Amino acid sequence: MTPSPWPPAALLPHAGDMILIDDVLGFDEEQIRTRINVRPGGLFNRPDGSLPAWVAIELMAQSVAAYAGCQARVKGEPVALGFLLGTRKFECNVEHFPAGSELIIHAQRSLQDDSGMGVFECNLSGPGIQATARLNVYRPPQSADYLAEGAVHD
């Protein structure tokens, strides 16, 4: 895997405190590996500074979005908006991720078609922590047009 020359903010269509991943450790045409250090005081932290285990789904989704951002940057294209459609088979062996924990997220593309639909097998690991899930995602070919079209019909 190639290390990313871009920070997460340059790869994700998120801003400010909504960017949860700290680094892209590496990526290639099929996968990405990202990292987060759990720090107290974030949007989703519990009073003790830990993160609830369900945040793993967002960390995995942001890793998939960073994967798409890396693919776009390599091709010289703009970073596009994508959607998490659903999660299957989410399993986690803990209820929360303690403050100070370093978490590594790996997302492997298992399916992607020309319409923008994709499936990623994801794994999150840390000290005594193991979480897995399959994420179903959708990235419209022209996301700006897609969003504008939805606004017209609402």
Percentage of the chain with pLDDT > 70?
A: 92
Total structural domains in the chain? 1
Nearest to 51 by CA among 21, 82, 31: 21
Cα angle 111, 112, 113 (rounded to 5 degrees) comes to 130
58 domain-assigned: yes
CATH number at residue 67: 3.10.129.10
Q: Is the pLDDT of residue 22 over 60?
A: yes
64 domain-assigned: yes
Q: Is the pLDDT of residue 146 over 50?
A: no
Q: Is the pLDDT of residue 25 over 50?
A: yes
1 domain-assigned: no
Distance of alpha carbon 63 from alpha carbon 70, whole angstroms: 10
Q: Which domain holds residue 89?
A: 8-153
59 domain-assigned: yes
Instruction: Quick: pLDDT tens for 58-87.
Output: 999 999 999 999 999 999 999 988 999 999
Instruction: Quick: pLDDT tens for 28-57.
Output: 999 999 999 999 998 999 999 999 999 999
Three-state SS annotation for the chain:
CECCCCCHHHCCCCCHHHCCCCEEEEECCCEEEEEEECCCCCCCCCCCCCEECCHHHHHHHHHHHHHHHHHHHHCCCCCCCCEEEEEEEEEECCCEECCCCEEEEEEEEEEECCCCEEEEEEEEEECCEEEEEEEEEECCCCHHHHHHHHHHHC
2 domain-assigned: no
3 domain-assigned: no
Q: Is the pLDDT of residue 105 over 50?
A: yes
Q: Compute the mean pLDDT over every residue in the chain, rounded to the nearest whole number.
A: 90
Strand 96-97 to 83-92 pairing: unpaired
Name which residue leads in pLDDT, 140 or 68. Answer: 68
99 domain-assigned: yes
The pLDDT, as a whole number, for residue 118 is: 92
- pLDDT tier for residue 151 given thresholds of 50, 70 and 90: very low
122 domain-assigned: yes
